[in-house]
Amino acid sequence: MPSRYWTAFFTILVVFLCSSSDACKAGQSKCRVFDVTRFGAVRGSQDNSQAFLAAWSAACRFKGKATFVVPKGTFKLSPVQFKGPCYDGASPSVKIRGVLQALPGSSDDNYWIKFSDLNRLSVGGGGEIDGQGADSWSGNKCNKECKLSSTTLKFDRVRDSRVARLSLLNSKAFHIKFHRCDNIDVYGLKISAPWNSRNTDGIHIAVTNGITIRSSIIGTGDDCISVGQGSRNVTISNIICGPGHGISVGSLGRYENEMDVVGLVVKNCTIMHTANGLRIKTWPGSSKSRASGLLFEDINMIDVSNPIFIDQKYCPGNDCSSEPSKVQINDVKFRRIKGTSLTKLAVNLLCSSDAPCSNVELDDIRLECSAGGECRTTSSCTNVKANFSGVQIPSPCL
């Protein structure tokens, strides 16, 4: 066959293969789908970690547009790390269309699925990631020192990336953790675990700059979203949170020499049937650090205990320091927070005697008792300089 016919044949073949995937567009000469089943992954009870890693390795090396695909069906998986850097500094697009299930039992790894050292990563596909964590929850009870079970999805040193349109459930510990990441967009997630599943935070952020979390539904046995040390320029919006412990900054000051939290916006969220609403929590006896530039606005509370809570005596166990926290909290704004409180004490600003909170503003707060009738909500202020404006229910603590 003349060479021009071979050229035409391969051109048509490439266009056909590329057009069959949402990652490959007509006219795109270098694109390929790396389906894990082509590398030996099988549906059922078999551990597919080696097949997944082989598919990732090939996709990561590919000199073009690569898509790593988990097709429909249920695939068992032991801990895996998808590591970069990949070809030309980019990353394969990850499409999870089926169900991933963790193998039963605990592991020495602090993650189940980890993405690390990657740029321009996209993880989505509409599939489900099931941590199978029920057997681990009883071991997650801990005070200041503990070793939690594994995080379902961990992102470490990932930049300019997106995580979207996935369901996660029943993680052994945290469902998603971002650590040492930059410029991340997160949306369209559904995260769920029972209300009594200990330390199963929906999303935890630490040492990360520039992350947006939006348009998601999160209900777990711990914080829906927790913003940890070293977090900067975080935006959280349009989240439905509950059950769980609400949306939290912290806990901070658990370890020595923690990095500051600077720049947080939480807006247009609904928090329902949670143990806390909007909370800032720091350990007593902590070393010096700072949490500042925090804005909470347009939040709807439905039957929430402790709707607004600054807790600088956070101690989930009994073995805590008697020394005050040294985490400085300042420039905090609560605006247009409304709804119902399950407790009378709806606003509790419990700050440190060593590092009193400063420039705390509450504007247009409307938090009434869930029970109604004769119940009236109250507020409490300790070691804080607070300013009040607009409607104040409960009455301001002075």
Give the DSSP H or E segment for 94. Answer: strand 93-96
Give the contacts of 171 (CB within 8 A, at least 6 positions apart): 112, 131, 133, 151, 152, 193, 200, 220
Note the residue count of the chain. Answer: 398
Measured CA to CA in angstroms, residue 104 lies from 115, 135, 348 at distances of 22, 8, 41
d(CA 135, CA 118): 32
User: What amino acid occupies position 114?
Assistant: K
d(CA 266, CA 146): 29
The closest of 396, 283, 261, 282 to 331, measured between CA atoms, is 261
Establish whether 175 is a catalytic residue. Answer: no
Question: Are 341 and 282 a contacting pair, CB within 8 Å?
Answer: no
The closest of 169, 162, 209, 153 to 185, measured between CA atoms, is 162
Q: Which two tokens stand for residue 9?
A: 């044949």
Q: Which two tokens stand for residue 326?
A: 């040294």
Active-site position among 179, 204, 245, 273: 245
Question: Are 107 and 137 a contacting pair, CB within 8 Å?
Answer: no
Backbone angles phi, psi at 33, to 5 degrees: -100, 130
d(CA 349, CA 383): 8
Question: Are 380 and 347 a contacting pair, CB within 8 Å?
Answer: yes
Active-site amino acid positions: 245
